[in-house]
């Protein structure tokens, strides 16, 4: 039976525009979904760029103004892949026009904007989701499954890192096309909102709300030429951030992120240590989840002479999402996390629901990011206000 078409309008044709366009195309080929996404319109600021993107990915038309895209009657879902300072305005307008809305992370520039976005989608009653895509790597989803099965028992410690090195040169300009991440007016913050937001989303999904934080940030290079003016201007983002935290369940947390870790392009890791076991993940080998099983719910305590870390190759049909891909032993990668996000969104929307992380879920991450920045500024512990 022909699936109901769902007409997608993607705003932003850069890095994330590509991952999303690919995901909308792939999801219905690998998953049995209630809708068939139709790539209806792509929007970028330059006409040539929007058209070239539309032609490459098979969108039916191109727009250069997101307002025109949102106003179109032939768009059902607005897919936001633009820099952070645009998310709120586009999402609120889309929700008010009755469109379904999915957006890239972080939800917004700050929690105030995030609240307005949550209000807009909830008032309009439209399905929504934020692309915290790392949750949907099968090994990360497996970690969630193992925790929910009680395999690590009471959690004591959670630690996460996201390290890069691409902004270390003092000659790198800030702001404008390609470098908007270095301008806090456009990005909201530096590594806190860009990188740690991913770590925080995963952490709170696996281990519950982070209730208070104590943070330190640093801006190593304090002035850079701004691309739009050609003049040197103060750098307003955090180049590095580290914070301690407490989870509502009592576990202690330790998070670190920087763009000054020479040699690291995307060292993204997490580890959680519980009474009965530990789990460890490293994005360099995303098809593996490391598991130390001290005690299993079925077999009791592992004999000490056979206890050890186990590398689970997360490629079996029993593993999350993997039955939809190839055969056991064959790996999938980064782009599949976006395909899974689209598949989960369409499945939920088919039941009239949003998919996690919803705008409201992502607002909790935004609150933690904001508390982290507040803490770094005030040099005090800060309550986050994040809810389950
Ligand atoms: N989930 C992830 O892992 C991940 C990774 C990278 C980026 N992101 C997020 O995705 C978003 C986009 O990041 P990116 O890396 O794709 O950026 P990018 O610079 O590669 O692309 C941004 C695109 O938005 C367009 N754009 C900017 N302002 C616009 C406007 N007002 N109207 C229409 N188009 C506009 C630009 O022309 C460009 O095509 C950001 O919110 C970022 O935080 C998420």
Q: Parse the chain into domains and list their residue ranges.
A: 4-134, 135-360+362-383
Specify the pLDDT at position 46: 85
Distance 375 CA to ligand 1 centre (A): 28
Specify the pLDDT at position 336: 98
For residues 300 and 234, give the distance between their C-alpha atoms in angstroms, rounded to a whole number.
58
Specify the pLDDT at position 29: 98
Pocket of ligand 1 (CB under 6 A): 11-17, 43-45, 66, 81-84, 86, 104-105, 131, 133, 178, 194
Distance 48 CA to ligand 1 centre (A): 17
Of the residues 80, 83, 84, which should be mutated to test ligand 1's pocket, given the most ligand atoms within 8 Å of the CB?
83
Specify the pLDDT at position 45: 93
Q: Is the pTM of this model over 0.75?
A: yes
Specify the pLDDT at position 75: 98
Dmax over CA atoms of the chain, in Å, equals: 66
Distance 118 CA to ligand 1 centre (A): 21
For residues 66 and 57, give the distance between their C-alpha atoms in angstroms, rounded to a whole number.
18
Specify the pLDDT at position 65: 97
Specify the pLDDT at position 334: 98
Index of the ligand 1 atom closest to the CA of residue 13: 39
For residues 142 and 144, give the distance between their C-alpha atoms in angstroms, rounded to a whole number.
5
Fold of 4-134: Rossmann fold (3.40.50)
**Could you tell me which residues come within 8 angstroms of residue 45 by beta carbon, excluding any fewer than 6 positions away?**
64
Length of the chain: 388
Matching CATH number, 135-360+362-383, of 3.40.50.2300, 3.90.950.10, 3.30.360.10, 3.40.50.1100: 3.30.360.10
Specify the pLDDT at position 47: 82
* φ, ψ at 312 (rounded to 5°): -90, 120
Specify the pLDDT at position 60: 98
For residues 74 and 159, give the distance between their C-alpha atoms in angstroms, rounded to a whole number.
45
Q: How far is CA 232 from CA 169, 176, 235, in A?
A: 15, 14, 9
From first to last of its 388 residues, the chain has per-residue pLDDT tens of: 678 999 999 999 999 999 999 999 999 999 999 999 999 999 999 889 999 999 999 999 999 999 999 999 999 999 999 999 999 999 999 999 999 999 999 999 999 999 999 999 999 999 999 999 999 999 999 999 999 999 999 999 999 999 999 999 999 999 999 999 999 999 999 999 999 999 999 999 999 999 999 999 999 999 999 999 999 999 999 999 999 999 999 999 999 999 999 999 999 999 999 999 999 999 999 999 999 999 999 999 999 999 999 999 999 999 999 999 999 999 999 999 999 999 999 999 999 999 999 999 999 999 999 999 999 999 999 999 999 9
């Amino acid at each position: 039976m022909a699936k109901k078409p769902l007409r997608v309008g993607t705003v932003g044709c850069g890095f994330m525009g590509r991952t999303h366009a690919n995901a909308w195309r792939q999801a219905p080929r690998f998953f049995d979904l209630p809708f068939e996404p139709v790539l209806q319109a792509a929007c970028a600021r330059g006409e040539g760029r929007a058209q070239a993107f539309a032609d490459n990915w098979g969108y039916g038309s191109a727009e250069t103004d997101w307002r025109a895209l949102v106003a179109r009657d032939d768009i059902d879902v607005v897919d936001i892949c633009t820099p952070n300072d645009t998310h709120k305005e586009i999402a609120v307008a889309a929700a008010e026009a009755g469109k379904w809305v999915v957006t890239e992370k972080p939800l917004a520039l700050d929690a105030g904007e995030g609240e307005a976005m949550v209000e807009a989608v909830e008032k309009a009653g439209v399905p929504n989701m934020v692309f915290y895509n790392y949750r949907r790597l099968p090994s990360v989803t497996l970690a969630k499954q193992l925790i929910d099965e009680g395999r690590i028992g009471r959690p004591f410690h959670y630690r996460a890192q996201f390290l890069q090195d691409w902004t270390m040169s003092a000659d790198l300009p800030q702001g404008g096309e390609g470098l908007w991440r270095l301008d806090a007016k456009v990005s909201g913050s530096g590594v806190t909102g860009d990188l740690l937001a991913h770590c925080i989303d995963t952490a709170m999904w696996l281990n519950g709300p982070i209730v208070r934080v104590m943070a330190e940030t640093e801006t190593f290079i304090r002035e850079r030429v701004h691309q739009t003016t050609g003049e040197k201007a103060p750098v307003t983002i955090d180049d590095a951030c580290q914070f301690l935290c407490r989870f509502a369940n009592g576990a202690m947390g330790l998070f670190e992120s920087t763009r000054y870790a020479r040699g690291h392009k995307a060292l993204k890791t997490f580890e959680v240590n519980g009474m009965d076991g530990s789990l460890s993940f490293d994005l360099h080998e995303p098809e593996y989840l490391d598991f130390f099983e001290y005690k299993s719910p079925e077999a009791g305590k592992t004999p000490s002479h056979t206890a050890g870390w186990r590398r689970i190759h997360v490629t079996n049909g029993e593993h999350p999402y993997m039955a939809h891909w190839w055969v056991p032993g064959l790996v999938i990668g980064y782009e599949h996390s976006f395909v899974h996000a689209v598949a989960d969104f369409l499945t939920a929307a088919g039941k009239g629901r949003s998919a996690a992380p919803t705008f409201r879920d992502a607002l909790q991450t935004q609150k933690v990011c904001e508390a982290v920045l507040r803490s770094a500024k005030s040099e005090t512990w800060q309550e986050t206000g994040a809810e389950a």
